[in-house]
Amino acid sequence: MPDTINEWAEKVLAGNRRAVARAISAVENGDAAAVALLKRVFPSSGRAQVVGITGSPGVGKSTLVEKLAADYRRSGLRVGIIAVDPTSPFSGGAILGDRIRMQSLSGDDGVYIRSMATRGQLGGLAPTTQDVVTMLDAAGCDVVLIETVGVGQDEVEVARLADTTVLLLVPGMGDDVQTFKAGVMEIADLYVINKADRGGAERVEQEVTAMLSLAARPDGWRPPIVKTVATSGEGIAALRQALEQFRAFGEKDGLKQQRRREHWRARLLELLRQTLFKKVAGELLRHGLLDSHVEEVLAQRRDPHSLVEEMVAEFASPGRKRKSPKR
């Protein structure tokens, strides 16, 4: 017999892996149960530190995330990992499966890994990403690492969602700071120069330092630059220390709360947009009204703007149907 929502929620809150995995799938598939579950577990969320890790393809994000997660595990912390993969144009799913990722973490009960597809071929986080974070958070993860592919809008989106944003650079990839996508350099709270054993790491560091010296952040934080060699684990301890410093800084004078406030503000508006539309469009389709409206526009009898205003007014005061203009 399947669990009731309450039983399912209890299992999620207890960190039961199967229950968490099913809950995340329910969120991704837009099941009605997911919303019921989210309502139940939400009060127990908000504790996890959410870290976004971004950078161009090939800079070694997955390896760094794997090593960082292992380091957190050694301190006894529970870790959730969301790996955002570009949507495959063929399957509609994520290209890299959870299974082939981060092999060294497999079999560890304190690590939850989930691959998520991007919103489309052009990148961007799936709209359900926050709900997946909430599930992992409520399931007792102390840290949620979100690895994004660095395509399209996703760096900016992950920076909005995360408490801390880490930007990975590597020497000699033509990723000169000067040519970096506009707006991406500025979103990072921490810079990592990975593959720092390669020549050119100093040059990248100088470029980032020069860029950072151009303008002080309004919050007063001076983003540190950490050099790592993720494959060997070099620099991972320094990265954790830098992450901890930023966490402490953010909690001291309300910066973290302010970021979360801005995030929730945007998230509530987005959820409102989706929910409103789903409800109104659903009613239109159920009553077959959309088709008749389309025919009126097609026949040039009604203009789309008046029609839509009328639909919105009808929704806002149901039953009080407005007089139809003469045909």
Among the residue ranges 1-9, 13-21, 170-178, 278-286, the one whose residues contact its own copies (CB under 8 A): 278-286
Single residue of 276, 287, 292, 322 touching its own copies by CB under 8 A: 276
Under the binding rule (CB under 8 A), the answer on residue 279 touching its own copies is yes
Over the window 198 to 227, marking each residue x when it contacts its own copies by CB under 8 A and - when it does not, the resulting string is ------------------------------
Under the binding rule (CB under 8 A), the answer on residue 45 touching its own copies is yes
Residues 150-169 that bind its own copies (CB under 8 A): 152-153
Residues contacting its own copies: total by CB under 8 A: 52
CA-closest candidate to residue 189, choices 139, 123, 243, 120: 243
Under the binding rule (CB under 8 A), the answer on residue 251 touching its own copies is no
Under the binding rule (CB under 8 A), the answer on residue 264 touching its own copies is yes
Under the binding rule (CB under 8 A), the answer on residue 42 touching its own copies is yes
Under the binding rule (CB under 8 A), the answer on residue 317 touching its own copies is yes
Under the binding rule (CB under 8 A), the answer on residue 240 touching its own copies is no
Under the binding rule (CB under 8 A), the answer on residue 301 touching its own copies is yes
Under the binding rule (CB under 8 A), the answer on residue 293 touching its own copies is yes
Under the binding rule (CB under 8 A), the answer on residue 43 touching its own copies is yes
Burial state string for 186-211 with b = 16 or more CB within 10 A and e = fewer than 16: ebbbbbbbbbbeeeebeebbebbeeb
Q: How far apart are CA 205 and CA 289, in angstroms?
A: 61
Single residue of 275, 287, 292, 322 touching its own copies by CB under 8 A: 275
Which residues sit at the interface with its own copies, rule CB under 8 A? 35, 38-39, 42-43, 45-46, 89, 122, 152-153, 182, 257, 260-261, 264-265, 267-269, 271-273, 275-277, 279-281, 284, 290-291, 293-295, 297-298, 300-301, 303-309, 311-312, 315-318
